[in-house]
Amino acid sequence: MNTLYLASTSPRRQQLLAQLGYEFSLIKPELDETPLPDELAPELVIRLARGKAQAGLSLLTDGAADAYVLGSDTIVVVDGHILGKPKDSGDAKRMLQTLSNRGHQVMTAIAVASAAGTEHTLVVTDVQFCELSDSDIEQYWHTGEPADKAGSYGIQGIGGNFVSSISGSYSAVVGLPLVETKQLLEATFAQQ
Ligand SMILES: Cc1cn([C@H]2C[C@H](O)[C@@H](COP(=O)(O)OP(=O)(O)OP(=O)(O)O)O2)c(=O)[nH]c1=O
């Protein structure tokens, strides 16, 4: 019997993993999410997803032999520049101005760590924003929604009002790609 853990503080990731039908427990490892010098966006998001999964596994002292720990990380990328979660309102407003009337990529990496090692998958989704006025941005900041989200928006909420098109995985933008997560977990369980 496999024991699945989700290494995450994100309620959205919990909801998406539950939607897939898995039973799991939560663990919340601490991880420094600062990019390394010259680190490229795909390298960063994969390193952080693997780091969350591995840090979660190392928190488990009992029963780690049959434990599988899922970690995930999401970033927004515009012309190669990485937008993480905003530090403050100025940071969020700058991000939203950058995203206005242009396309960007959302990169979400997922990783599963177990006694057998760590496997990962990267999912890249293209998102196009409509034009945002200064007052759109100001009002959006005051909803509170941007504060804890990569790129300072949530496609699943009011931020969805700004999305004119999306090509790729909607659930990956929200934080956990449903199809790829199921595939990665089933492939990892099958290896035991
Ligand atoms: C772009 C986008 C991001 N997000 C969220 C997903 C992630 O929770 C967050 C990016 O930060 P992350 O560091 O990936 O995750 P987190 O700190 O929220 O949670 P964890 O404990 O698992 O590390 O932004 C949305 O909810 N909607 C969106 O449209």
In the chain, the domains with their CATH numbers are: 3-190 (3.90.950.10)
Give the residues surrounding ligand 1 with Cβ less than 6 Å away.
8-10, 12-13, 33, 52, 72-74, 76, 85, 106, 148-151, 153-156, 159, 173-175
Give, in order, the Cα–Cα distances in Å from 28 to each of 49, 70, 76, 155. Answer: 13, 11, 23, 24
Question: For residue 21, how many other CB atoms are within 10 A of its CB?
Answer: 7
Ligand 1 nearest atom to the CA of residue 28, by list position: 21
Mutating to test ligand 1, I would choose from 6, 9, 10 the residue with most ligand atoms within 8 A of its C-beta, which is 10
- Predicted ipTM? 0.98
pLDDT tens, 76-95?
999 999 999 999 999 999 99
Residue 119 CA to residue 141 CA, distance in Å, equals 36
**pTM of the complete model:** 0.96
Q: What is the pLDDT, as a whole number, of residue 41? A: 97
Mutating to test ligand 1, I would choose from 8, 33, 74 the residue with most ligand atoms within 8 A of its C-beta, which is 74
